[in-house]
Structure 1
Amino acid sequence: LFSMSSEVEKAQHAHPTKDTIFGKIVRGEIPTEFIYEDEQCVAFHDVNPQAPTHFLVIPRKPIVQLSACTKADEALLGHLMYVAQKGLISLGAG
């Protein structure tokens, strides 16, 4: 199990210029089979699923943490939610 406080601490200390596994996935440096992709985001099955239908939808634009988002990110965040909802339906879980 993980400690929520340790996860919060990691997120609070995330550095916007450091590369992440998600950046590597978006750039194709880590081979990943996308179940969806467009100019704003990609979606793929989690490598360690915790539910029968478990996939991630991540933006192509690096976002270190949600609290760093601005009004300019509003459309992107809405798009991520829309893609997630459509993904659930297409995979028979929605």
Structure 2
Amino acid sequence: MAGGRADDEEAAVADCLFCGIVAKEIPATVVGETDLTLAFRDINPQAPTHVLVTTKAHHEDVGSLASADAEALAALLRECRRVAEADGIGDAYRVVFNTGAGAGQSVFHVHAHVLGGRGLGWPPG
């Protein structure tokens, strides 16, 4: 069947900013890479450390990732911790997942924001 879900998913990946970064087609300041993840500095940092950790495979959001690939989700979270430790904030950092446009997600490829290096208030936002 033409124009089905597979075609929609291929179009989403083709237009995905983070898929382009993972493929090394779009430049980024990479700070870590594993078989399943890529970590790079945010171009609009909201804290002294602001690193995005994403999966190499395209998943729209953290819920989709959790349903599809628990191993990749665990790898993403391990990489968040490694990034925080490498940046010297391993004892005080925040990991944020925005899910859906209403929550501030602007790139629909799962990614965690690792934030730290300054006081982070609560509640956020």
TM category (shorter chain) comes to 0.7 to 0.9
Structure 1, unpaired ranges of 5+: 1-14
Compare the two structures and name the one with the higher strand fraction: 2
Q: CA RMSD in A?
A: 1.6
Structure 2, unpaired ranges of 5+: 1-7, 91-125
Higher alpha-carbon Rg:
2
Aligned residue pairs total 80
Listed one character per residue, the Cα deviations across residues 8-67 of structure 1 (whole Å, up to 9, x for unaligned) are xxxxxxx63312100000011111221101211110110000011100111100001233
Counterpart residue number, 1:48: 44
User: Which stretches of structure 1, 4 residues or more, deviate above 2 A after TM superposition?
Assistant: 65-72
Secondary structure in structure 1 of the residue aligned to 2:69: helix
Q: What is the identity percentage for the equivalent residue pairs of Structure 1 and Structure 2?
A: 32
Amino acid in the other structure paired with 1:39: D
User: Of the two structures, which has the highest relative contact order with CA contacts closer than 8 Å and spacing of 6 or more?
Assistant: 2
After superposition, the Cα gap between the structure-2 partners of 1:71 and 1:64, relative to the gap in structure 1 and judged at 3 Å, is: closer
> Normalising to structure 2: TM-score of the pair?
0.58
> Normalising to structure 1: TM-score of the pair?
0.76
Is 1:31 aligned to residue 10 of structure 2?
no
